[in-house]
Amino acid sequence: MKYIARELTENVNVSKSHPLAELAWLAGGLLAVVAILYLSLWWVADRIVPRVPVQVEVWAGQQLMARFPNRPDPQLTERVRNLVRLLPAASPLHRYDFTVSVMEQETVNALALPGGRIVIFSGLLKQIESENELTMILGHELGHYAHRDHLRGMGRGLGMTLALAMLFGQHSQVAGMASNLLIGMEMRYSQQQEKSADAYGLDLLVQTYGHAGGATDFFLRLADQDEGKLAYLLASHPHPQDRIAGLRKMIARQGYAVGPTVPLPETLVHQSRECP
């Protein structure tokens, strides 16, 4: 048998398609799957969240937050409890055991964590000058609880994390990275949610002091300051000017009076100035 050496010009073992084109197809498909998943979780969370009993939420909150030390501030906690006492007996907020703690951080923000734990950053506390403003902010956070906004975001974040962990494996980098990104994103509420929480806070403010004085003071001060330092708040909440306009409209519609504000008691002022 004669041996004839032939050169193979074509390689059948390697596909011809460009790797970047393949990446585009696969990543696009994955994005579509994730988007569909996200939208369906949104839909499901919006229907389930209003039905979650407060006891279940408080229990889940304790499980989730057990790792983080909770040192409630007695003065602020007492203030929130006084606010809750003003609410009608049917309000689900009576079933929470609210605590307020102060976290040493320059961010101008407050968080409503599951189970009734409100966290106020010291950066926000420093900006407050009157009792009325403080009541407005605490009332705003109570509004998030009343509308169960904190659960909606958490439900979606948790659902997505679970789904990604199933897709990529529990300990994979992809799932870890995605859940970090998503949980950060889901801590934010929609503009509409913030607006209804403002309305809730305003009603509580008027119930406490008999007038709406001080409702917009805090936001006026924010709007005056440069935006760089407050970028966090501005990114997660509507612009202060919009909130002021919204609050003024609500005050006018309800016919609330605007009276003089009460300065913060010495103990609280002292505490907020002490923070580094």
The footprint of another protein (CB under 8 A) covers 3, 5, 7, 11, 13-15, 17, 19-20, 22-23, 26-27, 29-30, 33, 167-168, 171-174, 176-177, 180-181
Q: And the tokens for 30?
A: 């994955």
Give the nearest distance from C-beta 14 to another protein in angstroms.
5
Which of 42, 77, 74 is closest to 155 using CA atoms?
42
Residue number with CB closer to another protein (172 or 207):
172
- Listed in sequence order, the residues at least 6 apart from 188 whose beta carbon sits closer than 8 Å to its beta carbon are 153, 235, 236
Exposure on the CB side of residue 74, measured as CA atoms within 13 A: 1
Residue number with CB closer to another protein (69 or 228):
228
Taking a C-beta distance cutoff of 8 angstroms, is the pair 175, 161 a contact?
A: yes
Give the nearest distance from C-beta 23 to another protein in angstroms.
6
Residue number with CB closer to another protein (13 or 267):
13
Give the nearest distance from C-beta 190 to another protein in angstroms.
22
Q: And the tokens for 250?
A: 């609500």
Residue number with CB closer to another protein (8 or 66):
8
Residue 265 DSSP class:
P
Give the nearest distance from C-beta 231 to another protein in angstroms.
9
Determine the Cα–Cα distance for residues 59 and 136; give it in Å rounded to an integer: 28
